[in-house]
Amino acid sequence: MNNLRNINLAIVGATGLVGREVLKILMERDLQIERLKLLASEKSIDKSVIFKGKEYRVELLNKDAFNDIEFAIFSAGKAISGKYGLIAAKCGCVVIDNSNAFRMDDSVPLVIPEINIKDLMEHSNIIANPNCSTIGLLLPIYPLYKRFGIEYIIVSTYQSMSGAGKPFLNKYYSEMQGHKKDGCPIYNNVIPQIDSFEKNGFTAEEMKMNLETRKILHDNEIKVNATCVRVPVYKGHSESCYVKFKEKVSISDIYKILNRSKGVKVVDDIGNFKYPTPNDVAGKNEVFIGRIRPSLIEKNAFNMWIVCDNIRKGAALNAVQILESLL
C-alpha cells in the first residue's frame, strides 16, 4: 500500500480490542501515516502504544480532538460515536464507525468493500462498518446471491466473547477462577441472547443481520431470519446458514464461485475432518466456509458453515479496507 498518500488519522478507542487490531493491521499493510492520534476515555489517558517503532501517548477524546485530522476510525461504542462522530464529521474529518450508531441512517453508506464499494462515492463524512456477524455472513453469500438470487437465509450464530468487549471477557475469566457469577454466567454456558430484545421477540443483534443485509445488498425483498448466541470461545464468530436460492444451483456451482471469490476461503473436506473452526481462523483475513451440503427439505437450498475472526475482518480489517478504498 506504499502508493497511497500520507494521511492524518485518529483512532478512537485505541486501547480496546478492535482499536489495537486496527493499529496492527495498519502496520501490516504499511499505510503511510503522517500524523497519528490515539484517542480514548479518561481511564486510558497516558497509556502508551508503540506503532512502527514510535511511542504514542493516548490522548483524551474531546470536541477539539479532530482539528486537522482527515480520517478517524471509531471503535468505542454507540454513545461515543453518536456524539463525537458527528463532531468529527462537522470538522471535515471522514469517520469510519464500527458501532451501530449510524448503520441504518439512509444518508450513511454501510460498506463491505468486496461487495458495495461504490456506495462510498456518496457520503457526508460518515461511513458505517457493518456488524461483525453480517460481514461474516455476506462475504461468502454475496457472490452466490449475485449469480443465483436468494429468497431467504436462516442463520444461527455462535458468537465469541471478544465480540462483547473487555468487560465480558473479564467476567468470563472471573467466573473461570470460581468467583461469584453475576446474572447469567458465560463460563461453561451458552447464552441465546446478544443485545436487547425487541418487541417482536428477536434481539437487536438478530435484527441487525436482517436490516443490514438488505441495506448492503440494496434488496428489501431478501429475508434473513437469525438467532444469535454467545458461546465461551475467545475469538471467532461461527454461523450455521440455510440458504434458499431463487435459481437452480448445484454444489459444484457453489464451490466454483466461492473458490474464486475475493476474501473467501473454502475449507470443506469432511473425509479428512477439515472444516473451519474459530481456532483455525484466528488472525486470518478471510471468511472461511465449509460443510456445504444440499438441503434434505427442498430444492435449490443448501446448508453452510461460516467462520471468521470477528475482531479482524469482522471489524478492524473491514474498517481499514474502507480507508484504503477512500484513498
Q: Which residues form the catalytic set?
A: 132, 237
Reading phi first (left if > 0) and then psi (alpha if -120 to 50, else beta), residue 206 is in alpha
Reading phi first (left if > 0) and then psi (alpha if -120 to 50, else beta), residue 169 is in alpha
For residue 70, count other CB atoms closer than 10 A to its CB: 19
What is the chain's length? 327
**3-class DSSP state of 79:** helix
Of 290, 317, 314, 316, nearest in space to 303 by CA? 290
Cα separation, 23 vs 196, in Å, equals 30
Beta carbons of 25 and 173 less than 8 angstroms apart: no
Following DSSP, what letter does each residue of 236-305 receive, concatenated?
A: -EEEEEEEEESS---HHHHHHHHHTSTTEEE--BGGGTB---HHHHTT-SSEEEEEEEE-SSSTTEEEEE
* C-alpha Rg value of the chain to the nearest Å: 20
Indicate the pairing of strand 301-308 with strand 287-294.
Answer: antiparallel
